[in-house]
């Protein structure tokens, strides 16, 4: 577990984000549900990989703002909340990780400068980065930013419909928006699934959609 709660530069902050993401990645491997284990593992690995790009490419270190680091922190928190909400056995571990994430976020948002680290754990940045893609997120507010575009009106309506119902079958979505072609609806749902704004559950021949409920 981390010992660093304050740091003096963005480089140190990003290295801590990597360490926290790797811890979440390890925790995700042991989740009892294979479906959610794969989601949490994949998202945690993306956070670590993409954060490592900024650490390993010297030319980008100075360009990384506190806002950018905060984006990765928020994404870490989203993944962690899903683990805690769905799997009670991860409660103690995720609470410790959350403490480090929130303390790190507090320091990053603080106007104080040149704060000296108390004790840092040496972290090796990842070397096997396979691709540089935008980080996907479970939060709607983050998904809206993909490619600088907000969701379409239809996507907003689909999100609202699923949110009100809690858990809906795909046929219910088609019935609700019967004036829109099934192909268009499927395309919009696929985009929401790709951004993890909604999740899919398959039971036999039935397909259900729902929105992750994160703690307030």
DSSP annotation string for 13-73 = HHHHHHHHHHHHHHHHHT-S-HHHHHHHHHHHHHHHHHHHHHHH-HHHHTT--HHHHHHHH
Q: How confident is the model over 87-113, as a mean pLDDT?
A: 63
Residue holding tokens 């699923």?
A: 162
Contact 52, 64 (CB under 8 A): no
pLDDT cut 70: percent of the chain above it:
33
Compute the average pLDDT of residues 8-12.
51
Write the pLDDT tens digit of every residue in 47-78: 666 555 544 444 344 444 445 566 666 767 77
Q: What are the structure tokens assigned to 39, written together? A: 């989601």
Segment 195-210, tens digit of pLDDT: 778 888 888 888 899 8
Q: Where are the alpha helices (DSSP H) in the chain?
A: 10-29, 34-56, 58-61, 66-86, 91-109, 140-143, 153-165, 170-176, 182-194
* 118 confidence band (pLDDT: 50, 70, 90): very low
pLDDT at 192: 85
Of 12-16, 17-21, 164-168, the one with minimum mean pLDDT is 12-16
Over range 19-40, report the average pLDDT.
Answer: 68
**More confident call, 5 vs 147:** 147
Nearest to 28 by CA among 47, 12, 14, 56: 47
Q: Which one has a higher pLDDT value, 89 or 194?
A: 194
Residue 103 has pLDDT above 80, yes or no: no
Provide mean pLDDT across the span 15-36: 68
What kind of fold does domain 141-210 have according to CATH? Answer: Arc Repressor Mutant, subunit A (1.10.10)
Do the Cβ atoms of 212 and 167 come closer than 8 Å?
A: no
- Choice between 171 and 116, residue whose per-residue pLDDT is larger: 171
The domain ranges of the chain are 10-124, 141-210
What is the reported pLDDT for 146? 42
Q: In this predicted structure, what is the pLDDT of residue 138?
A: 41
Residue 191, pLDDT score:
86
């Amino acid at each position: 577990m981390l010992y660093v709660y304050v740091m003096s530069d963005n480089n140190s902050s990003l290295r801590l984000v990597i360490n926290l993401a790797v811890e979440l990645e390890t925790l995700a491997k042991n989740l009892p549900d294979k479906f959610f284990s794969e989601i949490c593992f994949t998202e945690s690995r993306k956070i670590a990989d993409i954060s490592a790009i900024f650490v390993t490419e010297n030319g980008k270190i100075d360009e990384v703002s506190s806002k950018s680091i905060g984006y990765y922190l928020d994404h870490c928190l989203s993944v962690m909340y899903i683990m805690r909400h769905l799997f009670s056995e991860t409660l103690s571990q995720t609470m410790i990780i959350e403490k480090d994430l929130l303390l790190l976020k507090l320091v990053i948002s603080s106007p104080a400068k040149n704060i000296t680290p108390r004790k840092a754990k040496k972290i090796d940045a990842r070397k096997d980065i396979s691709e540089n893609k935008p980080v996907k997120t479970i939060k709607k507010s983050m998904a809206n930013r993909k490619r600088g575009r907000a969701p379409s009106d239809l996507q907003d309506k689909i999100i609202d419909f699923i949110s009100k119902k809690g858990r809906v079958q795909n046929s219910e979505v088609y019935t609700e928006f019967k004036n829109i072609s099934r192909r268009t609806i499927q395309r919009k749902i696929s985009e929401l699934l790709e951004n993890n704004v909604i999740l899919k559950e398959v039971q036999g021949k039935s397909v259900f959609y729902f929105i992750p409920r994160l703690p307030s």
